[in-house]
């Protein structure tokens, strides 16, 4: 987030703290493409879009704050390291969203062995479209034979594989952001602060590679204590409901004072209940932290 803000302040990209994913009807795509024409990596692609026409972006969400994050000017040789990677991602994503769709030739085959039905799928990329600028989005080609209906095929062999399910790994920062967005906790502007807070307060530590969030003994003890005393304190619904109420206030569909009074009443009751049960939290902390 700091890198994205630094790019914005230096005039390379638009304001990064936005939740909007749709462009306004009067957004000047041509102006952005013209600013990229002299870029060593994106110039040819931007020129091709100007010459052959752009594809209308899919409609997203208009949060009413700022437009989606886009590049503002070319950055030939001026950025390095993480700044360059963030700029490249923003620029390639912008170009991809106004590019043509990718086209695949897909084949699906169903066949029977005895009474058991099996399915096999294959696909071949015909026209890369936006994948040309975002090659990591490409699905691997898988070519399979073309069979005719009611064909009889010899089975050369069968194999039964044995495997075991594995427990999930720790959430990465990106995973946690996805979950917070899914449950309506925080905004694009506040989510980075929430994550930094749980790191600063030693509830989780960062594990590389992948920046995984590993709960500490203190973090585990607090969550267990909350779940024993009042599970809602550790679940997303309460915070999510407050966020939704704030949205309703902003849209003029809820009364500010009524929402404030309701929230204060709810949390006062939770505070009183937690205060009466704080001994349980102290015992859990003593046990789990070996204090």
Give the chain's domains with CATH numbers. Answer: 2-97 (1.10.290.10), 103-137 (no CATH), 173-288 (1.10.460.10)
Render the burial of 245-260: b for 16+ CB within 10 Å, e for the rest.
beeebeeeeeeeeeee
Predicted confidence (pLDDT) at residue 262 exceeds the cutoff of 80? yes
pLDDT of residue 59: 84
State residue 187's pLDDT score.
78
Answer whether residue 241 shows pLDDT above 70. yes
Q: Which residue has the higher pLDDT, 85 or 155?
A: 85
Looking at 19-23, 84-88, 196-200, 217-221, which range is the least confident one? 19-23
CA distances from 19 to 67, 188, 238, 246 (A): 8, 6, 21, 15
Give the C-alpha separation, 242 to 260, whole Å: 10
In the prediction, which pLDDT does 288 show?
Answer: 87
Rounded mean pLDDT, 155-160: 86
Cα 1 to Cα 86, 111, 176, 196, 225: the distances in Å are 10, 51, 15, 11, 32
Over its C-alpha atoms, the chain yields an Rg (Å, rounded) of 26
Contact by Cβ (8 Å): 211, 173: yes
User: Are 161 and 128 a contacting pair, CB within 8 Å?
Assistant: no
pLDDT at residue 190 tops 90: no
What pLDDT sits at residue 271? 95
Interval 166-186: pLDDT, tens: 999 999 998 999 999 888 888
Interval 60-101: pLDDT, tens: 888 777 889 999 999 988 999 999 999 999 999 999 999 999
Does this model's pTM top 0.85? no
Mean pLDDT of 238-257: 90
Q: Give the pLDDT score at 136.
A: 93
Q: List, for residues 10-36, the tens digit of each pLDDT value.
A: 999 999 988 888 998 889 999 999 999
Q: Which residue has the higher pLDDT, 227 or 239?
A: 227
Report phi then psi at 153, rounded to 5.
-115, 135
Interval 126-148: pLDDT, tens:
999 999 999 999 989 999 888 88
* Residue 168 C-alpha from the chain's centroid: 18
Phi, psi dihedral angles at 39 (to 5 degrees): -75, 135
Q: What is the reported pLDDT for 238?
A: 87
Q: Which residue has the tokens 């062999």?
A: 157
**pLDDT score of 291:** 60
Task: Provide the annotated active-site residues.
Answer: 15
Structure tokens at 186: 């925080």
Percent of the chain with pLDDT over 90: 67
What is residue 239's predicted lDDT score, i.e. its pLDDT? Answer: 85
pLDDT value of residue 101: 94
């Amino acid at each position: 987030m700091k890198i994205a803000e630094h790019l914005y302040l230096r005039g390379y990209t638009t304001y990064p703290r936005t939740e909007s994913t749709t462009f306004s009807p009067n957004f000047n795509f041509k102006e952005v493409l013209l600013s990229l024409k002299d870029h060593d990596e994106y110039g040819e692609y931007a020129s091709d879009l100007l010459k052959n026409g752009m594809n209308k972006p899919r409609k997203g969400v208009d949060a009413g704050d700022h437009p989606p994050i886009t590049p503002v000017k070319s950055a030939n040789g001026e950025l390095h390291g993480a700044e360059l990677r963030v700029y490249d991602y923003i620029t390639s994503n912008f170009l991809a969203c106004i590019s043509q769709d990718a086209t695949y030739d897909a084949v699906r085959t169903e066949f029977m062995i005895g009474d058991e039905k099996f399915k096999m799928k294959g696909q071949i990329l015909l026209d890369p479209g936006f994948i040309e600028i975002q090659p990591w989005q490409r699905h691997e080609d898988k070519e399979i034979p073309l069979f005719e209906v009611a064909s009889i095929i010899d089975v050369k062999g069968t194999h039964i594989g044995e495997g075991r399910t594995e427990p999930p790994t720790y959430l990465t920062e990106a995973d946690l952001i996805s979950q917070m967005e899914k449950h309506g906790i925080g905004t694009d502007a506040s989510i980075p602060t929430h994550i930094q807070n749980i790191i600063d307060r030693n509830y989780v530590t960062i594990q590389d590679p992948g920046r995984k969030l590993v709960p500490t003994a203190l973090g585990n003890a607090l969550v267990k204590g909350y779940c024993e005393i009042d599970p809602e304190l550790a679940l997303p619904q309460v915070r999510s409901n407050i966020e939704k109420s704030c949205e309703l206030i902003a849209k003029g569909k809820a009364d500010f004072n009524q929402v404030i009074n309701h929230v204060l009443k709810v949390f006062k009751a939770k505070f009183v209940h937690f205060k009466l049960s704080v001994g349980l939290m102290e015992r859990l902390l003593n046990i789990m932290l070996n204090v």
